[in-house]
Each structure stands twice: as C-alpha cells, then as structure tokens.
Amino acid sequence: MKRISILFVCMGNICRSPLAEGIFSHLVAEAGLNGCFTIGSAGTGGWHDGEPPDWRSVAIARSHGIDISGQRARRIQPQDFRDFGLILAMDRDNMAALGRIAPDGANIGLFGDTALGTGENIPDPYYGGPDGFELVYTRLLTGCSSLLGTLGAERPSWSGNTSSVR
C-alpha cells in the first residue's frame, strides 16, 4: 500500500479535527498500518495556535481509549496543500474557507461526503455540552472506519472500547 496523507480540518483545530486525527490514527495503529499513513489536523483560523485540544474532546477521546492530549492546534499552512494528498473539512463553512486559499488541484473534500457518504456537516460541539462531543465522536468514528476501509486497508479489529458508544 502506498503512503497516504490525510489532513482533517475544522475551524480552530481544538474540537472536531483533533478528534478525527486521533480516531483515524488509532484505527490505523489497530490495523497495523502506521507506516502507510501520514495523519494530521489543522484549523482554518489561528485563534488557538499552540493550544491543546478542548478538554471535552480530550475527555471523550480518553473515554474511548484514545489519547489526543499531546496534539497542539495550528492553522492550515500553504505547504499543507502540497504535503497532504487528501484534506477533509468538517463542514461546508470550513470547506469554503479552504477553497479560498487552496491552490488549483488541491484535493479538498467534505468529511460527510468522503468518509460518511451522507453529505452531512460534522457539527461544532464547542458551545454545547457532553452529548454534542459524544455525537461528534460517534460520527467521526463511523466515517474514519469507513475511510480506512475505502482506502484499501483491511478493517481493523474492533477490540477494546474504541468502537463503543457510551
């Protein structure tokens, strides 16, 4: 399998995209495919540069056996369009923001189209409570699992609590 590079993008890179990066990285590791992927996340805005993910994203990931506490927020950079073969926006607003700064030929998609096949936006849970973060986790897990399968990898074994929804 050739090396595939994926960048997950949301607005501030503290809620949705760090969760997507963490979930996808975990699934790739479970499948024994670490050497086949480069995985990252970024935000369309730089308000949170250098900060860890929102504590609620860290907590929901941890409750499912995934540690994203070491990630740091960053704004998307011009070189990301060269370094990542697939850039997935969490919603249409971020996809539009990417479209305004991307060079011609950049492979930008909506997570809801590419990974879920539903065309849905992944809602921003920032202003809500824990249920919103659980919903986002569940949608991202479903999409990341599908994405890994679509990219030709064997489905990972669903051991542990990674696929559980509490």
DSSP string, the chain: ---EEEEEEESSSSSHHHHHHHHHHHHHHHTT-GGGEEEEEEESS-TTTTPPPPHHHHHHHHHTT---TT----B--TTHHHH-SEEEESSHHHHHHHHHHPPTT--EEEHHHHTTSS-------TTS-HHHHHHHHHHHHHHHHHHHHHTTPPPPP--TTTT---
Residue 8 to residues 47, 150, 159, 164, Cα–Cα distance (Å): 17, 16, 25, 22
124: annotated active-site residue: yes
Catalytic-role residue among 15, 16, 56, 80: 16
Tokens read off for 150: 């679509």
Q: Tokens at residue 21, please?
A: 């990066």
Is 104 part of the annotated catalytic residue set?
no
Q: Which residue among the candidates 10, 15, 91, 139 is catalytic per the annotation?
A: 10
Q: Of residues 15, 124, 139, 144, which has the active-site annotation?
A: 124
Q: Is 15 labeled as catalytic in the residue annotation? A: no
Name the residues annotated as catalytic. 10, 16, 124
